[in-house]
Structure 1
């Protein structure tokens, strides 16, 4: 990766036209060919960029550019479109290149698969007497996260989300409609389980007879004792 800190102006042309006036910015050139222009704000989002496939070429300024203080020009041309990013460098304060190597990728914690595994192991969080029938119970429209059985013998279909919204309730509703056609399973109750359930989703679930359960991921992992909390 190459990182350049420079006073520069940036012009983009192609599907749209955009101009960044002269200011100090960070120019990032990645191994995949992408070029990103960052300021000292705006979080992770660049001010402008060119995604691959593209080609970066560096050239000397012409006479008119040199007269206004330009010392170098980067031209980033997309190889499949007419999009072009032109960076006019005035003063370069830093120019470093570092080989980062192959990135192993982001390892996420607390994703739905983790919640599903933990809930399957602690199925009584759904209520005393609940037992696990199967994880990823197959249906014609996709697998139900967990199929359980209540203490009274009723089948229970569980949809698990990190953040529960209306789409999750709709998804569980479709599963319940299908599962309740199976005489070996019917009647099937629904449980919408998530770390956080949005108010609109809770209202919709309740209206459809679906029970909502909030999952405490840290407590399920055993790193947070809920009985010792003050609040």
Structure 2
């Protein structure tokens, strides 16, 4: 039986997804901040600040920031004195992150090209695992969650920031119309690439809702799972602990 997964609104062979997602992010790597601004109206910066505050990183901790290529989350975490390994499957995204770190004069970050589904790190290596706006692009999400659990120490924590489905009456329809019609147009205007931005919006619509994804985190072995909806669930901070 063929293993099919979603790529936006398409269903494709699972073996194709990594390559096709890679093309999208290679295309948008240099315009990634603009992409996030277009998709969130600039609010992604506030969401990321809140996400890292919830993580409560501490000096000396080892943190794996997965799908963190451009460094947005890692730069925030590093301020705490934690040791951050920034991992991404896409070399172009990592290149942008390393360039940004150099411009900011930031040193001490570890940059590592990794597939979230098959991490090369040792068991129980990290105190915390973060992934922001990346889990929905993984081919086999449950496998990636299992790998997150594997590389965390006992007592380690998992934090995920991801778009979801807002439950606020009326707002869902407004955002749906904005994202489907305006974001691809902005992608064309800002990056001459409407298709990549269209995929990114469609991938949000295909991502599991908050209770379903929380259940997947629990299935991976995490306990004390929690969900914090933002804007009624347009974005959610998911968390869990390894014991």
> Normalised by the size of structure 1, how large is the TM-score?
0.29
Hey, which of these two has a bigger chunk of helix by percent? 2
Larger Rg: 1
Hey, which of these two has a bigger chunk of strand by percent? 1
> Normalised by the size of structure 2, how large is the TM-score?
0.28
- The answer to which structure, 1 or 2, has the higher relative contact order (CA under 8 A, 6+ apart) is 2
